[in-house]
Amino acid sequence: MKLVFATNNNHKLKEVKEILDNQFEILSLNDINCFEEIPETQNTIAGNASEKAHFIFNKYKINCFADDTGLEIEALNGEPGVYSARYAGENCSYEDNVQKVLQKLKDQTNRNAKFRTVISLIINGKESLFEGIINGSITENKRGKDGFGYDPIFLPDGYNKTFAELPQEEKNKISHRGLATQKLINFLKTL
């Protein structure tokens, strides 16, 4: 089955293609000649995932899915949450966001955090939502070179390596996106 993954993020595309393990033909936005900005105006992770998937389905009439992810830090009342991509401001880098989190958690003993991913899948106009959550904590300093985003400061519960230190396949097995994608696959298999 052909499915468009409504993302411009090559890291995520690579991760999801690895997780789906060639069971489905995943097309990127480039593959369908979609080069425009996808709206992301909702104030929840699920709302944004749904908005992105509906935008692509309505415009291109093709089965698709979109994901949205947020890092939710307990001591910051769930921040950066839906603002994870632009926490340190519009056009900020991953590094800017990481530094902002480390700064805000300076001297903070409660470093509990979770990543939440919601995937919205639209098949023939019908939407299904899949959620994946991984609990962990924010490290005092950056550790590791792999991954992207907040990976160097996220330590999953039960591990002594950050997401940026774990091999990609290990991260995929336990990550928010990995768990949500596994639910997506299980659902696709029932079709």
Separation in Å, CA 133 to CA 58, 81, 148, 157, 183: 28, 13, 17, 12, 12
Helix, coil or strand: residue 131: strand
| Residue ranges in 134-163 that form contacts with ligand IMP under rule CB under 6 A | 147-151, 163
Which of the residues 31, 68, 146, 157 is marked catalytic? 68
- Indicate the helix (H) or strand (E) that contains 189: helix 176-189
DSSP per residue, 10-43: HHHHHHHHHHHTTSSEEE-TGGGT--SPPP---S
Please say if 31 is a catalytic residue.
no
CA atoms within 13 A on the CB side of 15: 25
**Least spacing, CB of residue 147 vs ligand IMP, in Å:** 6
Question: Is residue 94 involved in binding ligand IMP (CB under 6 A)?
Answer: yes
Question: Is residue 84 involved in binding ligand IMP (CB under 6 A)?
Answer: yes
- In the complex with ligand IMP, which residue's Cβ is closer, 63 or 162? 162
| Residue ranges in 100-139 that form contacts with ligand IMP under rule CB under 6 A | none
Q: What is the DSSP letter of 74?
A: G
Question: Is residue 178 involved in binding ligand IMP (CB under 6 A)?
Answer: no
From 25-33, 55-63, 66-74, 99-107, give the range in contact with ligand IMP by CB under 6 A. Answer: 66-74
Nearest-CB residue to ligand IMP? 149
Find the binder of ligand IMP among 120, 162, 175, 181 (CB under 6 A): 175
Question: Is residue 181 involved in binding ligand IMP (CB under 6 A)?
Answer: no
In degrees and rounded to multiples of 5, residue 110 shows phi and psi of: -80, 105
- In the complex with ligand IMP, which residue's Cβ is closer, 63 or 156? 156
Question: Is residue 65 involved in binding ligand IMP (CB under 6 A)?
Answer: no
Sign of the C-alpha dihedral computed for residues 91, 97, 99 and 100 taken in this order = positive
Q: Do residues 110 and 75 make contact, with C-beta atoms less than 8 angstroms apart? A: yes
- Chain contacts with ligand IMP (rule: CB under 6 A): 9, 67-69, 71, 84-85, 94, 97, 147-151, 163, 175, 177
The residues that are catalytic are 68
